[in-house]
Structure 1
Amino acid sequence: MTKYFHVLAFLSLCCLAVSIIPEGRKIILDCGTGFVKAGYAGDDLPSVVVPNVVGRGGDKVYVGQEALDRAMVYQANLTRPMENCEVIKRADMKIVLEHVFKQLNETPSGKKVVLTQPSLDV
């Protein structure tokens, strides 16, 4: 159920972004506590879905699924940048967002980005 809700929310934001933001390719960014989803307005599904987690092992920093995989094998320390839909570790959130933009083959500067916001009626 949750998976479908996120897809529907992403689709509705894509339609909204296409209609209200003029010209250029718009990036939709949904930063959730568990996953960061990103894609383009007008697309049916997010192009990138990354677990919102950062892992550190030695001098290396891992993001998303790689961090989860490394934690199981190499006992990397995991941190989550968000808790209860709020950013609690800004430096780690920056690392995750840089990874997401890299996966999109985009640079965030000069781009039109629609950032989702959680509903407060829960």
Structure 2
Amino acid sequence: MGKSSKNSSRRSHLPYLHPISSLGNQTKIILCKNGCNFVGVKTMDWRQYIHSDPKILLGKPTVKGTRLSVEFLLGLFAAGWTEQQVLENYPTLTKEALRAVFAFTAECMREESLYTLPLLSEAG
């Protein structure tokens, strides 16, 4: 990062992001609520892979064509499963569908605000 260029003002503060011009037409500029710019984030359309149907798992978001919920798949990763393990154990899934799970979750989290509330015993 020691080199300075005229594009340096367009770079994000996150090292894995790239200037907008290098990512083509699928690039979005994402502004987080606290004002930091996520310039050059390449996103996917998760709607091709994730849907919600009240008749399937009470409407939980699932991967299309399966009964695998986003929540369940994230739980596997949280439990230490690798992408390879998930794909081997659920052969109907694709790498793109797993990527859509994370894209969907990221979008949901961008739209949420989380607050820390004191316990009743601490409020007094």
Q: Does TM, normalized by the shorter one, top 0.5?
A: no
- Identify which of structures 1 and 2 has the higher relative contact order when contacts are C-alpha pairs closer than 8 Å and 6+ apart: 1
TM bucket, shorter chain: under 0.3
TM-score, reference length from structure 2: 0.26
TM-score, reference length from structure 1: 0.26
Choose 1 or 2 for highest CA Rg: 2
Higher helix share: 2
Higher strand share: 1
